[in-house]
Chain A
Amino acid sequence: MQPAGQYSRDRCITGVHGLDEILRGGIPYGSTVLASGTCGSGKTTLGMEFLVRGADAGEACAHFTATEPSVKLLENIRQFKFFDVKMVDSGLINVFDMDVLYSWLGLEKSSFDLDDVHSLIKAIVDIVNTIGVTRLVIDSVTTLCYKIKSEQLIRDFLFTLGKKLATLGCTTILIAEITSATENAHWSSFGVEEAIADGIIVLGDVERMGHLLRFLQVVKMRGTSHSRAKHAIELTPLGVMLTPMLKWGAVSDTHNRWGA
């Protein structure tokens, strides 16, 4: 029971060690969350774990991959000790190659117009609706949006997709590639994804005396209070593990942290 006057939305419990604590219980259901990160920062692993944890709880999950073939992705999922191949066989984890989807839709072209974007949204929403998907990952939205040439169209695409998925009760992680995760950087490649998303999780590296430490930071999450601190992460067979980053060690070398 909650104290009078307090209201909290139902949560999608990610199952990721430490992340639900940061989010004070999980991602509010139906949210569209941008997971932005530099290369090698763990964003694909985070997305995969989000799905496997969901499947482990009996939820139907879908992964649209535009960055690597689905076969390779499924091989990588096997690293998790909590993964069971039955999750795929029983239809709880569904992986779709974007290239195959484009081919089905006749979208094998270098750029998409308004009609193409709408048919893509319809296809994704139809799949989510048909399977009853409650957790979705698109990896990466950056690769997908490269085909959409106008900012306005990207905005429409993400807004419409997010709205329709929310209506279906689907919690979505859009993975975005960025080149820098410093405080002055954008959280997305096109600058519009971050405004549309309900939540932003940034992944990157902190350099400490020549060594790179992975970090995760929840910058924004509508519908819940949350920690905004940097957390160090490790990618393990038990999934992503987090601990608060040391306050005296969270600043990169380039900020003269170790200087005289």
Chain B
Amino acid sequence: MKMFDLDQGIADQLTEVSLNSAIQVRCGNSNAFMVTASTLIPLLQAFEMSGVYISASRGAAEVIQGFEAIGVDVSHIQFIDLVSSGILGGTTVPYSNVHFVDSPIMLESVLLRTLYILKTTDNERNFIFLDSVNSLAIYNEDRMLAEYLHTFINTFRQQEVLTVILNVPDQTPPLVLSNLDLYCTDLIDRGQVVIH
């Protein structure tokens, strides 16, 4: 069952990037899942990539169920769930591809867990999908988050792992936003018009 049309423009734009690219994907509140699906589906199906999905905005189980509802197999994605540990019983999920980090404030743990997953995968073509910078900004101080994105993006670019960073720009502090613009190599803009 498909509840929306995928954005073919995103798939076209993805053909232009290389494995050591870092893409900022801007979306709004209302189109976040459509933009996410339009980005991930080509990566999984057309480019036959595996990946790590860092879930800071919703529990991983909810994200997986969202993809299952539109008939997308996400078994090649390992999920790092930063939300559910803070919810009583939230870590009891029926999926073996979900890992948990205690809190979105444990930024270094997220990086190390991602590196660990990449070390255990056999696939040579991998992506990291960070959902989302604005969610991380709820918990983390601006300077720390900007510093983290700097480390995060450079670490994976160096390892030739495609980095995709989802962001709702009008919910992201200006310092973080400007740093994200600086570190990312590509921009897919499906966000709302923002005037700061």
Query: Which A positions have Cβ atoms within 8 angstroms of B?
Result: 208-209, 211, 213, 232-234, 236, 238, 241-249, 258
Contact = CB atoms under 8 A, between A and B. Distances in A.
Given A246-B147, A248-B143, A248-B144, A238 B119 contact: yes
Contacts of A245: 108
A246 B108 contact: yes
B109 interface: yes
Given A243-B151, A246-B151, A213 B144 contact: no
A248 B141 CA distance: 9
A190 to B, nearest CB: 32
B6 to A, nearest CB: 35
B147 A234 contact: no
Interface of B: 102-103, 105-109, 111-113, 115-116, 119-120, 139-141, 143-144, 147-148, 151, 155
B103 A211 contact: yes
Contacts of A233: 112
A208 B147 CA distance: 16
26 contacts: A208-B106, A211-B103, A211-B105, A213-B106, A232-B108, A232-B109, A232-B112, A234-B109, A238-B120, A241-B112, A243-B112, A243-B115, A243-B151, A243-B155, A244-B151, A245-B108, A246-B147, A246-B151, A247-B147, A248-B144, A248-B147, A249-B108, A249-B140, A249-B144, A249-B147, A258-B141
Contacts of A243: 108, 111-112, 115, 151, 155
Interface of B is mostly: helix
B102 A211 contact: yes
Contacts of B120: 238
A249 B143 CA distance: 9
A60 B102 CA distance: 38
A242 B155 CA distance: 13
Nearest to B120: A238
A209 B116 contact: no
Nearest to B115: A241
B117 to A, nearest CB: 10
Contacts of B151: 243-244, 246
Nearest to A206: B108
Contacts of B112: 232-234, 236, 241-243
A234 B102 CA distance: 13
B113 A234 contact: yes
Nearest to B150: A246
Nearest to B144: A248
A246 B106 CA distance: 10
Contacts of A241: 112, 115-116
A46 B140 CA distance: 30
Which A-B residue pairs are the 5 nearest by beta carbons? A232-B108, A248-B144, A234-B112, A248-B143, A236-B116
Contacts of A244: 151
